[in-house]
Structure 1
Amino acid sequence: MKDELDSMAKNEVWDLVELPERAIAIGCKWAKLVTKGFTQMEGIDYHETFFPVSKKDLLRIIMALVAHMDLELHRMDVKTAFLIRDLDEEVYMK
């Protein structure tokens, strides 16, 4: 968790602010910092969604190709993968 907090501070992911009147703060949960976006309403709190992850079918294809072509496969965890998306909306989180 310390690595994630350090990455967020280094990448200036958020600003600590007072919650404006009529703004609604979204809850969050730590594992990796995840908002509880299910409390938002489309068209009011957001206009589109974006979640850059791979599907398990893609992983199966890659593993099949690696096995077929006798390649080496390395695993990598990018801790800051979700810190690179700019938002047009203001999002308040508690």
Structure 2
Amino acid sequence: TKYKSDGTIDKYKARLVAKGYAQQEGIDYEETFAPIAKIKTIMMIFALATQFGWKVHQMDVKSAFLNGDLQEEVYMTQPEGYVIPRKEMM
């Protein structure tokens, strides 16, 4: 929901997402990988940075993989209860 400066609703926003929880390994995908550091590794880097006077920078990339090219067709359905009068599809 997006609000105006006076607090009233400006517009409603929605996003359709793929139901990844319904995928089956070996059928819908082969393997997954998420490059995430363990907390012990992060703490060790902080300790080294403190000891040697290194500068530390932190960033978060939330949309790194949202715009990749798909090699196959993807089908989606609207959530139950979502209705636009006189329109069957978005």
- TM-score computed with the length of structure 2 as normaliser: 0.47
Larger-gyration structure (1/2): 2
- TM-score computed with the length of structure 1 as normaliser: 0.46
Structure holding more helix per residue = 1
Greater relative contact order, per chain length (Cα 8 Å cut-off, separation 6+): 1
